[in-house]
């Protein structure tokens, strides 16, 4: 076992050296230079830990389990960084440059100093890795405008994950009151609900709150285009009432986004139009609401998150002006309006808009 561990640790150190060489490619892009240095520092720390373990070999039987565990922990971190970060950064393309430049423009418009790099390398949908200041989009999103409102949602994850916390005391206090009240009601009315199950599931809000905060952030900053993009996304996932540990139900999120838009009279005509289509879509057949749906999606928790997000935006002096002419948000709203009003002409209009936006 000593030999095997020794070989594995030497192999890991060699892998780290190869990754550092790959990062050299990323350094040729000005905007990636600092990021490449940060990742190299992380890899060097991993290598130090690997060398410390290697220095203890050959080791007596009593330490072998622990040294194997040490190798496992370091290797997992290194391999994931290779897969998620070093790989995409070392293949940084013109599409990534376009999206990263758009991200920079959005951040400047909004007043965000910590600008994420955007990589058109997602194998899923949009996602963010705030630890490395990265946002991932599907590969073609530098060629189309319709999904880009989701960039603002990921921007919220980016900010929150890097210490600019979006959800705080208002939500925590609202949750506490809500749980007390709901449990009291369940007991008082002898509702056939397992309290333990309720407590287990209401704790999903630990993760839900940031998803809802990111929806609020994006809706405030982009306006109706975010609601359109969300409705569009829902067409691909018809279980609109399904919720998971990580995300509240799409239907509840859509209702929240619309409630938020309704509070701004500038959006009246858009909101009317989105609501009409949202109702029509709800009228189609959908899988039924799962257990505890209504109890887990009370509007007061969504509202409390929104209050926290508004306070965070205000305290950071971020600019909320989704319809300001010439902004990315205004362009995304125009894109959705054009698509819905003149679908046949949309492709040509979008091609031109993309060419000038990403020029």
Partner 1 sequence: MSTTKTYSDFRAITELLNRLNAALITAKRLALRITPVPDAAEIADATEVLRDFLEQQQKERAPQTAQHPGTSSSPFRVKTLPALTLDAQEIDRFLAQLRKGLATLAPQHLEFLERVVKELDQSSESLYRQMARL
- 127 near partner 1, judged by CB under 8 A: yes
Residue 285 near partner 1 by CB under 8 A: no
Window of 24-32, 49-57, 185-193, 219-227 that interacts with partner 1 by CB under 8 A? 49-57
Q: CB of residue 211 vs partner 1: minimum separation in angstroms?
A: 8
Query: Which positions from 81 to 120 touch partner 1 by CB under 8 A, shown as an x/- string?
Result: --xx------------------------------------
**312 near partner 1 (CB under 8 A):** no
Angle at 65 between CA 62 and CA 66, to 5 degrees: 90
Do 149 and 124 meet the contact criterion of CB atoms below 8 Å apart? no
Separation CA 310–CA 128 (nearest Å): 22
* Closest CB 154 distance from partner 1, rounded Å: 8
**Residue from 12, 26, 128, 151 in contact with partner 1 (CB under 8 A):** 128
Residue 289 phi, psi dihedral angles, 5° rounding:
-65, 135
Q: Does 38 interact with partner 1 (rule: CB under 8 A)?
A: no
Which residue's CB is nearer to partner 1, number 76 or number 266? Answer: 76
206 touches partner 1 (CB under 8 A):
yes
Counting contacts by CB under 8 A, is residue 299 touching partner 1?
no
Q: Is the distance from CB of 30 to CB of 89 less than 8 angstroms? A: no
The string of DSSP letters for 117-163 reads: EEES--SSSSEEEGGGTEEE--TTTTS-STTTHHHHHHHHHHHHHTT
Rounded Cα distance, 133 and 118, in Å: 9
Rule CB under 8 A: choose which of 56, 57, 193, 320 binds partner 1: 56
Helix ranges (H only) for the chain are: 2-27, 33-54, 61-81, 87-90, 94-110, 149-161, 169-188, 195-202, 205-222, 224-234, 250-262, 268-283, 293-296, 299-315, 328-341, 343-357
Q: Which CB, 60 or 192, lies closer to partner 1?
A: 60
119: left (phi over 0), alpha (psi -120 to 50) or beta: beta
The yes or no reply on residue 151 touching partner 1 (CB under 8 A) is: no
| Contact between residue 322 and residue 221 where contact means Cβ atoms under 8 Å apart | yes
Closest distance of CB 251 from partner 1, Å: 19
Asked if residues 159 and 282 have their Cβ atoms less than 8 Å apart, the reply is: no
DSSP 8-state secondary structure symbol assigned to residue 299: H
| Residue 72 interacts with partner 1 (CB under 8 A): yes or no | yes
179 binds partner 1 (CB under 8 A): yes
Residues 6+ apart with CB under 8 A from 259: 299, 302
In the complex, the smallest distance separating the C-beta of residue 180 from partner 1, rounded to whole angstroms, is 6
When binding is defined by CB under 8 A, the residue of 13, 22, 57, 63 that contacts partner 1 is 63
Binding span for partner 1 by CB under 8 A among 4-12, 15-23, 68-76, 228-236: 68-76
**Residue 129: strand pairing partners:** 134
233-252: contacts with partner 1 (CB under 8 A)? 244-247
Decide if 333 contacts 322 (C-beta within 8 A): yes
Candidates 51, 52, 94, 299; binder of partner 1 (CB under 8 A) is: 52
Name the residues that contact partner 1, by CB under 8 A.
49, 52-53, 55-56, 59-60, 62-63, 66-67, 69-70, 72-74, 76-77, 79-80, 83-84, 124, 127-131, 136, 157, 161, 169, 172-173, 175-176, 179-180, 199-200, 202-203, 205-207, 210-211, 244-247
């Amino acid at each position: 076992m000593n030999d095997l561990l020794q070989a594995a640790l030497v192999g890991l150190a060699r892998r780290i050296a190869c990754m550092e060489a790959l990062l050299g490619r990323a350094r040729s892009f000005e905007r990636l230079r600092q990021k490449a240095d940060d990742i190299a520092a992380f890899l060097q720390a991993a290598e130090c830990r690997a060398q410390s373990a290697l220095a203890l070999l050959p080791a007596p039987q009593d330490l072998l389990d622990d040294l194997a565990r040490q190798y496992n922990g370091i290797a997992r971190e290194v391999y994931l960084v290779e897969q998620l970060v070093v790989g995409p950064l070392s293949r940084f393309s013109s599409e990534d440059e376009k999206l990263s430049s758009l991200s920079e423009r959005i951040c400047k418009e909004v007043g965000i100093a910590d600008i994420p790099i955007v990589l058109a390398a997602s194998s899923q949908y949009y996602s963010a890795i705030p630890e490395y200041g990265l946002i991932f989009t599907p590969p073609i999103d530098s060629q189309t405008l319709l999904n880009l409102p989701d960039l603002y949602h990921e921007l919220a994850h980016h900010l929150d994950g890097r210490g600019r916390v979006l959800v705080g005391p208002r939500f925590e206090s609202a949750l506490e009151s809500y749980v007390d009240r709901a449990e009291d009601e369940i007991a008082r009315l002898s509702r056939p609900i397992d309290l333990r199950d309720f407590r287990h599931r209401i704790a999903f809000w630990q993760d839900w709150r940031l998803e809802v905060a990111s929806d609020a952030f994006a809706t405030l900053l982009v306006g109706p285009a975010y609601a359109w993009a969300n409705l569009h996304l829902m067409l691909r996932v018809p279980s609109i009432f399904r919720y998971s540990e990580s995300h509240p139900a799409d239907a509840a999120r859509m209702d929240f986004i619309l409630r938020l838009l309704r509070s701004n009279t500038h959006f009246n005509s858009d909101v009317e139009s989105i609501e009409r289509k949202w109702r029509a879509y709800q009228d189609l057949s959908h899988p039924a609401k799962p257990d505890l749906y209504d109890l887990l999606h009370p509007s007061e928790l969504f509202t409390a998150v929104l209050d926290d997000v508004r306070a965070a935006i205000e305290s950071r002096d971020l600019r909320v002006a989704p319809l300001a002419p010439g902004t990315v948000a205004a362009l995304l709203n125009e894109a959705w309006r054009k698509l819905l009003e003149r679908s046949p002409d949309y492709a040509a209009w979008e091609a031109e808009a993309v060419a000038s936006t990403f020029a």
